[in-house]
Amino acid sequence: MKEHNRYAFIFDMDGVLTDNMKLHALSWVELFNDFGLNGLEPERYLVETAGMKGHDVLKHFLDPSISATEAHRLTELKDFLYRVMSRKSIHPLSGLTRFLDAAESLGIRLGVGTGSGPKNTDYVLGLLGIQHKFQAVVTADQVVNGKPAPDIFLEASRRLSAHPSRCIVFEDAIPGVEAAERAGMKCVALSTTNSPELFSGFSNVIAVINDFNGLTPEMLLDLPFQAHLSTQ
């Protein structure tokens, strides 16, 4: 226990704690359609901008010079649409609760580092009923730069009093895996949003998994600095 509490697991939320990223993508597409950006496939959002702050998503797809005020207004509209669409679809990813319980029993510090804002974060964690599991929750509004910048994960590690080299990030999005890499953290990639092949170029990815079934904290604690692991 004393040895394990030097480690921290930091979880992205959407697409990691629950398989909901396709609903985020659809809500963005609906918003863009309303502004005349037709024909955007949800997959483009998932590959290019999943996990980013809303402001950065809007700059990428809609208007590179969009103001912070307008970006906040449109992100709020998109998030409201997402909550309406997803209310009956938020469930823990398979094996998640058991994995969190196992990590908690070992004294591993647990945190969330998400590109979502506070409303969506409270909404999802509330529906999942797992808020009490995490000693730190960092949302997009609490850092200057969103993913792929490392700010969110570095702030989470600071709040968890864990050195970045002792943190393992759980991510489903390419910008999130890059953020973990830039933070000096190893990463377990989940294939809920992207195909496993897209993670092959990242040296910090130690495992690619479909869900948390078959994964134990002990499998990860001694591997991050030695070898890659596959549980698929």
Interatomic CA distance for residues 214 and 124, integer angstroms = 24
Please give the model's pTM, rounded to 2 decimal places.
0.85
Check whether residue 128 and residue 25 sit in a common domain: no
- pLDDT tens track, the chain, 232 positions: 445 568 999 999 999 999 998 888 889 999 998 888 887 888 888 888 888 888 999 999 989 999 999 999 999 999 899 898 888 889 999 999 999 999 999 999 999 999 999 999 999 999 999 999 999 999 999 999 999 999 999 999 999 999 999 999 999 999 999 999 999 999 999 999 999 999 999 999 999 999 999 999 999 986 544 444 555 5
Segments forming the whole domain that contains residue 52:
21-86
Longest CA–CA separation in the chain, Å? 56
Check whether residue 76 and residue 124 sit in a common domain: no
Check whether residue 27 and residue 75 sit in a common domain: yes
Asked whether the beta carbons of 16 and 193 are under 8 A apart, the reply is: no
3-state secondary structure of 187: strand
Check whether residue 117 and residue 75 sit in a common domain: no
Verify cis geometry, omega within 30 degrees of 0, for the bond prior to 148.
yes
Domain edge (last residue) among 56, 86, 116: 86
Check whether residue 57 and residue 141 sit in a common domain: no
CATH number of the domain within which 97 lies: 3.40.50.1000
Check whether residue 98 and residue 162 sit in a common domain: yes
Amino acid letter, 16: V
- Report yes or no on 226 lying in a domain: no
